[in-house]
Chain A
Amino acid sequence: MRLSILAFGQVAEITGSAFSFDHVSDTDALKLSLEKAFPALQYVRYTMAVDKTTITANTFLKENAVVALLPPFSGG
Chain B
Amino acid sequence: MNRYERQTALKELSEQGQQKLLQAKVLVIGAGGLGCPVLQYLTAAGVGEIGIADDDVVALNNLHRQVLYKENHIGKLKVEVVADVLQQMNSTVKINHHIARLNNKNILPIIHLYDVVVDATDNIPTRYVVNDACYLLRKPLIYGSILRFEGQLAVFNYHTNITCRDLFPQQPKENEIADCNEAGVIGVLPGIIGSLQAAEAIKIITGIGQVAAGKLITYNMLQNSLYEFNISANPLAASFLPDDEKAFENADYGEVCDVFSVREIDVASFEEIRSLPGTIVVDVREEYELSETPTIESIQMPFSVFDENIELPAGKTIVVICKSGHRSKAAAALLSRKYKNVVSLQGGFNNWLTLNKMDHA
Interface residues, chain A, with chain B CB atoms under 8 Å away: 6, 8-10, 17, 39-40, 43-45, 47, 49, 52-56, 68, 70-76
**Smallest CB separation, B223 vs chain A (Å):** 7
A59 to B89, CA, bound (A): 51
A45 to B220, CA, bound (A): 19
B35, B178, B230: the one contacting A53 at CB < 8 Å is: B230
A sample of 11 more A-B contacts (CB under 8 A), given A39-B288, A45-B172, A72-B167, is: A8-B150, A40-B286, A43-B286, A55-B232, A56-B166, A72-B177, A74-B179, A76-B30, A76-B34, A76-B122, A76-B145
**Smallest CB separation, B31 vs chain A (Å):** 10
Q: Which residues of A contact B145 (CB under 8 A)?
A: 72-76
Contact with A along B85-128 (1 / 0, CB 8 A): 00000000000000000000000000000000000111110010
In this complex, how many residues of chain B approach chain A with their Cβ under 8 Å: the count is 51
- Asked if residues B122 and A54 are in contact (CB atoms below 8 Å), the reply is no
A12 to B321, CA, bound (A): 25
- Tell me if B185 counts as interface (CB < 8 A to partner A): yes
Q: Which residues of A contact B277 (CB under 8 A)?
A: none
- Asked if residues A49 and B229 are in contact (CB atoms below 8 Å), the reply is yes
Q: Which residues of B contact A49 (CB under 8 A)?
A: 229
A55 to B166, CA, bound (A): 10
- Asked if residues B218 and A8 are in contact (CB atoms below 8 Å), the reply is yes
Question: Contacts A47-B168, A56-B234: A73 and B120 contacting too (C-beta < 8 A)?
Answer: no
- Asked if residues A10 and B177 are in contact (CB atoms below 8 Å), the reply is yes
Can you report 29 A-B residue pairs in the complex whose CB atoms are below 8 A from each other?
A8-B220, A10-B177, A17-B220, A17-B223, A39-B288, A40-B286, A52-B227, A52-B228, A53-B232, A54-B231, A56-B234, A70-B167, A70-B216, A70-B229, A71-B177, A72-B145, A72-B172, A74-B123, A74-B145, A74-B147, A74-B174, A75-B33, A75-B145, A75-B181, A76-B34, A76-B122, A76-B144, A76-B146, A76-B190
| Among B216, B233, B288, residue most surrounded by chain A Cβ atoms (within 10 Å) | B216
- Asked if residues A76 and B168 are in contact (CB atoms below 8 Å), the reply is no
- Tell me if B304 counts as interface (CB < 8 A to partner A): yes
Question: Contacts A10-B177, A45-B176, A56-B236: A72 and B230 contacting too (C-beta < 8 A)?
Answer: no
A66 to chain B: closest residue by CB:
B227
- Tell me if B325 counts as interface (CB < 8 A to partner A): no
A39 to B32, CA, bound (A): 35
**Smallest CB separation, A48 vs chain B (Å):** 10
- Asked if residues B124 and A54 are in contact (CB atoms below 8 Å), the reply is no
A48 to B131, CA, bound (A): 21
B302 to chain A: closest residue by CB:
A43
Q: Which residues of B contact A76 (CB under 8 A)?
A: 30, 32-35, 120-122, 144-146, 180, 190
- Asked if residues A72 and B32 are in contact (CB atoms below 8 Å), the reply is no
- Asked if residues B229 and A75 are in contact (CB atoms below 8 Å), the reply is no
A68 to chain B: closest residue by CB:
B229
Question: Contacts A45-B176, A75-B145, A76-B120: A54 and B229 contacting too (C-beta < 8 A)?
Answer: yes
- Tell me if B48 counts as interface (CB < 8 A to partner A): no
- Tell me if B151 counts as interface (CB < 8 A to partner A): yes
Q: Which residues of B contact A47 (CB under 8 A)?
A: 167-168
Q: Which residues of A contact B151 (CB under 8 A)?
A: 73
**Smallest CB separation, A50 vs chain B (Å):** 10
Q: Which residues of B contact A52 (CB under 8 A)?
A: 227-230
Q: Which residues of B contact A72 (CB under 8 A)?
A: 124, 145, 167-168, 172, 177
**Smallest CB separation, A52 vs chain B (Å):** 5
